[in-house]
């Protein structure tokens, strides 16, 4: 249940060009095996993605995205006991995934890219993750200008919550993601991770995804994604102490222990989801 402990969302990328693990799970059987291993290691949710949305990525057609995710979902959903999320901003892909048993849509655009997505989510009673970004992947850094990144991200996400509710998605179905690394330079992501309170105080569950992202190299120096796992552990701890209800990670086995300790510290500090001092 959200709030009792921080949940782990395991990332299952089915893309050849993901920044962290591109190409590893192109074979559906290998992808399902990897997801089962994540659940065994402690994942509470599995997030399946068929299109890379890293900064600068080229868009993928809905048909090609469906061709990647549908064979995996068809085998994965019956095989796991945890909820499955589809990481897409396309209504067509979301509809197909929900029809195959996914129950969450993780939309990096917060309903900005495909207006029909709200109808799909509302009609099927799915949960919806609204992530903060500005612009498309190919141009998002042009929009990375902030005076107060935490306040501005919270204000813009609040507007997307209003838009989602007006489009028919129940407020209770919404989860918010501050979008570390999306339309944010490294210093913006660091400041946002250090001050999640404004987003947490919007009153919806908070999902944070710092895993292996390039903003971590601001502290590490040049380091490939596979060598950012210790840095990810620090960022995950900060996310939990800052109010995250869900953390989205690649390395579930290691991060399961990190989250357990971070949850212990949060409880010992008497922190709720917005850091105000009452147990959440």
Query: Parallel, antiparallel, or unpaired for β 45-49 and 7-13?
Result: parallel
Distance of CA 112 to the CA centre of its chain: 16
Contact status, residue 32 vs residue 76, Cβ threshold 8 Å:
yes
Helix axes 28-41, 62-79, angle to 10 degrees: 50
As annotated, the active-site residues are 213, 248
Q: Enter the tokens of residue 113.
A: 């890219």
Burial class (CB in 10 A: 0-12, 13-18, 19+), 202: middle
Q: How many CB atoms lie within 10 A of CB 58?
A: 9
Single out the residue of 36, 43, 3, 22 nearest to residue 254, CA to CA: 43
On the 0-12 / 13-18 / 19+ scale of CB atoms within 10 A, 155 is middle
């Amino acid at each position: 249940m959200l709030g009792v402990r921080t949940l782990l969302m395991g990332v299952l990328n089915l893309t050849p060009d993901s920044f962290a693990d591109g190409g590893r799970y192109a074979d559906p059987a290998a992808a399902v095996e990897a997801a089962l291993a994540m659940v065994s290691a402690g994942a509470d949710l599995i997030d399946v993605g068929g299109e890379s949305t890293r900064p600068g990525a080229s868009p993928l057609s809905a048909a090609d995205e469906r061709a990647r995710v549908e064979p995996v979902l068809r085998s994965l959903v019956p095989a796991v006991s945890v909820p499955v999320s589809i990481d897409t901003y396309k209504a067509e892909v979301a509809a197909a995934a929900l029809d195959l048993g996914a129950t969450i849509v993780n939309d990096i655009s917060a309903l900005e890219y495909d207006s029909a997505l709200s109808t799909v989510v509302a009609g099927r009673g799915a949960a919806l993750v609204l992530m903060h970004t500005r612009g498309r992947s190919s141009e998002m850094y042009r929009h990375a200008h902030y005076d107060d990144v935490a306040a501005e991200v919270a204000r813009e996400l609040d507007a997307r919550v209003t838009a989602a509710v007006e489009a028919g998605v129940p407020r209770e179905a919404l989860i918010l993601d501050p979008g570390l690394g999306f339309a944010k330079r490294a210093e913006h992501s660091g400041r946002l991770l250090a001050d999640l309170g404004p987003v947490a105080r919007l009153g919806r569950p908070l999902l944070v995804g710092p895993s292996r992202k390039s903003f971590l190299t601001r502290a590490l120096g040049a380091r490939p994604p596979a060598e950012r796992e210790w840095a990810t552990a620090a960022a995950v701890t900060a996310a939990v102490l800052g109010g995250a209800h869900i953390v989205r990670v690649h390395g579930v086995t290691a991060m399961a222990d990190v989250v357990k300790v971070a949850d212990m510290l949060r409880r010992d500090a008497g922190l709720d989801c917005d850091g105000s001092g009452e147990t959440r």
